[in-house]
Chains A and B, each alone.
Chain A
Amino acid sequence: MLLSGLCQGFIWAILSLGVYISYRMLDFADLSCEGTITTGASVAAMLIWRGCNPFLAALLAFIAGCLAGTITGLLHTKLKIPPILAGILTMISLYSINIHIMNLATGKEGTSNLSLLNYKDQTVYAAIDRLLGIGKTNASLLLGLVIAAAVIALLYWFFGTEIGCAIRATGTNEKMCRAQGINTDVTKIIGLAASNGFIALSGALLSQYQSYTDVGMGVGSIVIGLASIIIGETLFARAKHFAVRLLGIVVGAVLYRIVVAFVIFSGMPSTDLKLMTAVVVAVALSLPILKNRLALNAKKKNAKKAG
């Protein structure tokens, strides 16, 4: 149970790192996430059905996610649609597109899910197991760890480059960016493309890990991503180094998954999970305000006593 929490944690960590790019770097609440995770899963599952190499399938899923993010970016920058709405439009259109992608596997209209149970030997996890002979669980752990580390390294490098710095600056002060010669349309599109690319990659890994892809699997994924970010940031509140902060998000995602595994184990219906996640995120996001209120009330009481 702990192990499955760990394995899934690493997969969701990649999604969380993707959400981190849009939410924290660009200050863009991007709801396309809910669609792109499924797009990543659908593309990977469909390609595996069609006999594609699972690693190549994951890479193509990443690219599909980048395309979806680009669409959100274009809707927002070129057509001036507000961030939330731009994300929702992409998300909703991906619902139909994801079904079309899955249709390509079965050749039937209206395929709303794809099982990989008959293709269990053709996943990335099986491939690693075959290569190293360490068992499927260890292979999942190792691959999750390696990919998460690679994504951290990649993001650390990318956001240190000139373009990366420009993207970070866009999220913190757009007007200043334009005054410094940065095309903020381009930086936003690149950021959203990268963000959704990693989200789709996480979907591709998830579909192979659980051998199942469903058109509704993305519902609430943005909230899970945010929960992981918030847990990570709270635990690593003092971290100054960017790589350590990214590591914090991975830890946050893994912890979140382990907690979920325990909660399900203790008998809570898994359908209540999304409610629980939403409550956790709402509480975490409102903590600063709650703290202020409490401090204010304490002051009032003291003032009364003094008066």
Chain B
Amino acid sequence: METNIMLSLDRISKTFNPGTINEKVALNGLDLRIEKGDFITVIGGNGAGKSTMMNAVTGVFPVDEGTITLDGEDITGLSEYKRAKYFGRVFQDPMTGTAPNMEIEENLALAYRRTKSHGLRWGISEKERVRYKEALARLDLGLENRMHAKVGLLSGGQRQALTLLMATLERPKMLLLDEHTAALDPKTADKVLRLTHEIVREDSLTTLMVTHNMKNAIEYGNRLIMMHEGQIILDIRGEDKKKLTVEALLAQFSRASGSEFANDRALLS
């Protein structure tokens, strides 16, 4: 077994609503190998299968075919909550990643227990509070002084920053970001992205980041993959990635897929 492979997807297929008029092949024999320490950005047109790939990896639904191997362990049949201990996740919708009716520190306490079983011990300890306060201070949003505030009161950007912190509080094997800045205004999106970059670098996390922003996809990470019709059609890394431009990327897409790049948001941003 290769030891420097963190995640390996082998011939993953997923079809939604099979046998109906709404049948949609979302993943079509997808192959992907992610090395430890890789920071991969994922781009692709509407319905290319980016989110489906994320959801397949995290076990939101079972895949039809193929195997998912994480750090040498076959996790294909593992349920979503059991896989959670390996993955830190941040979603597109800022509402998804946090519990709005609960306090900031309660949310962090839940995240801290992602890798542990839940018992009848008290839900949060003093020792943890100190740690959370330090971690929140790192975000530089003043949240460390609002530990008892309900998360529902926070702005979208604050919530995404908090979700990012929750995802990485207990070091995950992989950090999965599904268009986590798409719902934010450009300035906030930038701030959250810089924060992401910082955390990923400091903790040297293996990261998969779906984005609709080609500039960001080129700017961040050491490897870029482009998806089309449930498969990976471009895989650019190292020096090639550093030299990439948006125009070159669009041209490469047309050549590889034989069609125009169709993602309204990507073209507008």
A residues with a Cβ closer than 8 A to B are 160-166, 168-169, 171-173, 175-184
Contacts and interface: CB of A to CB of B under 8 A. Distances in A.
A264 B110 CA distance: 48
B254 interface: no
A175 B96 contact: yes
B113 A181 contact: yes
Interface string B110-123: 11011110111111
Interface centre among B79, B109, B122 (most CB of A within 10 A): B122
B110 A180 contact: yes
Interface of B: 58, 79-82, 84-85, 87, 89, 91, 95-102, 106, 109-111, 113-116, 118-124, 166
B84 A178 contact: yes
Nearest to B115: A181
Contact of B97 (A161, A164, A179): A179
Given A160-B123, A162-B121, A181 B98 contact: no
Q: Is the interface of A mostly helix, strand, loop or mixed?
A: helix
Given A176-B96, A178-B80, A179-B58, A160 B122 contact: yes
Given A172-B99, A172-B101, A173-B99, A180 B166 contact: yes
Contacts of B111: 180
Given A164-B123, A168-B101, A173-B99, A180 B118 contact: no
27 contacts: A160-B122, A161-B121, A161-B122, A161-B123, A162-B118, A162-B120, A162-B123, A164-B123, A165-B106, A165-B109, A166-B110, A166-B118, A169-B110, A172-B101, A173-B98, A175-B91, A176-B98, A177-B99, A178-B84, A180-B113, A180-B114, A181-B82, A181-B84, A181-B116, A182-B81, A182-B84, A182-B118
Given A163-B118, A165-B102, A176-B99, 6 more contacts: A162-B123, A165-B110, A175-B96, A180-B113, A180-B114, A183-B79
Nearest to A25: B101
Given A169-B102, A181-B82, A161 B119 contact: yes
A169 B99 contact: yes
A160 B122 CA distance: 6
A165 B100 contact: no
Contacts of A181: 81-82, 84-85, 113-116
